[in-house]
Amino acid sequence: MRDAYDAVIIGAGHNGLTLGAYLARSGLEVVVLERRHEEGGGLATEELTLPGFLHNVHANYHTFVDMAPPVKDLEVRTHGVTYIRPEVQMASVFDDETALVVYNDLDKTCESISRFSAEDADTFRRLYLEAHGYVDLLLGTLMYQPPMSVKELTKALASFGIEDRSEFLGVKLRRETINWFLDKHFTNPKVKAHLAFHAAICGYVNDLPGLAIGFPLLIGKIDNWHLCVGGSHRLAHGLWRDLARHGGVMISDAEVSSIAIDSGRAVGVTLSDGTQISARKLVASTVDVEQTFLEMLGETDIDADLRGKVKNDIRHQKWSLFSVHLALAELPAYKAASFEPDVDRAWVVNLGYGSPEELNVDFEAIRRGRLPGLAKPNAAVNSLYDPTDAPPGKYTGLLRQFAPYSLNGRGPAAWDEIGRWYASQCIQAWSNFAPNINEKSILDWVPYSPADIPSKIRNMVDGDWMMGEVSLDNMLDRRPLPELGQYRTPIKGLYLAGSTQHPHGFITFAPAYNALQVIAEDLNLDKWWNVI
């Protein structure tokens, strides 16, 4: 390790690695510092159960890899990263043993929806096609540029002609819930339940006012889930390879404890073992705002007002994810396959939500620190589409359940007591719909609770897997605070480039890509990449 670099980046998640690789390709001497023993952050793939079973501990579904500029600019696919877009993307199975299936083929999806409501199938087709007219363009403008204000977004939408063309993105959407949108456009509760679940698993909870604005984009991308072959961690390796190939360095087991400030400028960092590293041009943090401002900076480094806001006003998701990772000897055989055989080929299956109201009730409970009445997780089997993630003839399974971080006022530590019991409830829920998922076919299983999330990835404060609430007040240029919404900070040379920033968490690469644009302006870098 040298004692000085041009750019010092804190955190080697996909955002830290992405920013590092771009800056290294721009000729800067770059170091990316990671507190864990390996790079990747949320891109962790581990043999949690038995040897040869590869479990994606966090990010499993990568939606934006076909449109994110860094995937092309950093030649990620030449670094051993391969994606599959599964043919049968996601299904919902219901208590009456019916199933609705979303394919990567619109006609087939509409055919499945029409078994519940022909009218809803037509509506879905219309909304999907309408969204496809502009979603990529809009998402490109919205996600891969420093954020606009809500007002500017309205103007942008108008210039796309969207408000004239459809009711999708009217001003009203910015005040309404996804439930409102679903009730306005769809009739069948099961169709609505499927769409509401899809939104929630993307972080957009259906009963929060204002989130209807994101729903058209969610419909447009509903069949765009990609699976990283060999495990999500392959993407982290790919980004790291690009960084290394261009002279950048990633150092693991290097926890940053403080940022050095000289005359109002960030000039380096100190690691928790005391090692000091100077930054000639910039320091970029991709970790949580609280750590960056309250722990890494001294009390006098930022003004008291901003410090107070970071302490009191940063908003985190009020719900988290409970996971169960399974090693399986059999593929699930759903009862609902007699109604819809393709449910057995679905990458992800939502278990048991028959209406958006059922989801509302569960989210209400979760926000009060309670477990949902019944476990209704979703179940993914990556091996259906990527046989390399398990030994021959075996399969890797994943259950994900919406859950609180802090339980009934007993705090997150209560997960240590109930984690295995709750995992068994989730497995039972799967078994109710797919009876061959039982003691015989399950070779091993491991729970991963909301409390485990920040223990492993400390920047996911309170199990907040999105690194900041997804709500209208915490979006665009207001994320994470209006003062910090443009990737710059009041300290010269200190930037924010992680999921705390616009657009939000997920494997989008967008916070890093957008921070890059700002850094390039400040350092007068030649923009060799394709600017959106």
Q: Which one of residues 55, 58, 192, 316 is an interface residue with ligand FAD (CB under 6 A)?
A: 58
15 binds ligand FAD (CB under 6 A): yes
User: Among candidates 203, 185, 182, which has minimal Cα distance to 194?
Assistant: 182
Report which residue type is found at 464: D
Per CB under 6 A, does 379 bind ligand FAD? Answer: no
Looking at 7, 8, 36, 116, which residue binds ligand FAD (CB under 6 A)?
36
* CA-based torsion, 136, 402, 422, 499: positive or negative: positive
Q: How far is it, in rounded angstroms, from Cα 101 to Cα 412?
A: 35
13 binding ligand FAD? (CB under 6 A)? yes
Report the alpha-carbon angle 506-512-514, nearest 5. 105
Q: Which is nearer to ligand FAD, 127 or 460 (CB)?
A: 460
Per CB under 6 A, which of residues 193..212 are in contact with ligand FAD?
A: none
Contacting ligand FAD (CB under 6 A), which of 14, 25, 226, 234? Answer: 14
Which region, judged by CB under 6 A, interacts with ligand FAD, from 6-14, 19-27, 147-155, 387-395?
6-14
Say whether residue 382 binds ligand FAD (CB under 6 A). no
Could you tell me the end-to-end alpha-carbon distance of the chain, in angstroms, rounded to an integer? 35
Q: Judge contact between 400 and 377, C-beta under 8 A.
A: yes
In angstroms, give the least distance from the CB of 529 to ligand FAD.
19
Stretch that binds ligand FAD, among 113-121, 274-282, 432-440, 454-462 (CB under 6 A): 454-462
Q: Confirm or reject binding of residue 316 to ligand FAD (CB under 6 A).
A: no
45 binds ligand FAD (CB under 6 A): no
- Parallel, antiparallel or unpaired: strands 55-56 and 45-46: antiparallel
Q: Which is nearer to ligand FAD, 123 or 396 (CB)?
A: 396
Using CB under 6 A, pick the residue from 453, 476, 496, 525 that binds ligand FAD.
453
- Tell me: does residue 507 bind ligand FAD (CB under 6 A): yes
From CA 464, how far away is CA 288, in angstroms rounded?
Answer: 10
Closest CB 463 distance from ligand FAD, rounded Å: 7
- Integer Cα distance of 391 and 400 in angstroms: 23
Residue 265 makes contact with ligand FAD by CB under 6 A: no
**Least Å from the CB of residue 291 to ligand FAD:** 6
Check: CB of residue 134 under 8 Å from CB of residue 140: no
Q: Which stretch binds ligand FAD (CB under 6 A): 70-78, 123-131, 161-169, 498-506?
A: 498-506
Smallest distance, Å, CB 285 to ligand FAD? 8
- Per-residue interface string for the shown chain with ligand FAD, residues 270-299, x marking contact by CB under 6 A: ----------------xx---x--------
DSSP 135-182: HHHHHHHHHSSSPPPHHHHHHHHHHTTHHHH-STT-GGGGTS-HHHHH
Q: Which of 68, 87, 35 is CA-nearest to residue 345? A: 87
Residues contacting ligand FAD: total by CB under 6 A: 36
Closest CA to 327 of 395, 229, 231, 377: 395
Taking alpha carbons only, the member of 434, 361, 443, 432 closest to residue 402 is 361
Burial tier of 138 (Cβ tally within 10 Å: 0-12, 13-18, 19+): buried
> Binding string, 239-258, against ligand FAD, x = CB under 6 A?
----------------xx--
Name which of residues 62 to 91 contact ligand FAD (CB under 6 A).
62
Checking phi first, is residue 430 left (phi over 0); if not, alpha (psi -120 to 50) or beta? Answer: alpha
Structure token pair of residue 409: 């006022």
Q: Is 10 in the site for ligand FAD (CB under 6 A)?
A: yes
What is the Cα–Cα distance from 74 to 509, expressed in whole angstroms? 11
Where on the chain is the footprint of ligand FAD (CB under 6 A)? 10-16, 33-36, 41-42, 58-62, 255-256, 286-287, 291, 321, 323, 453, 457-460, 465, 498-499, 505-507
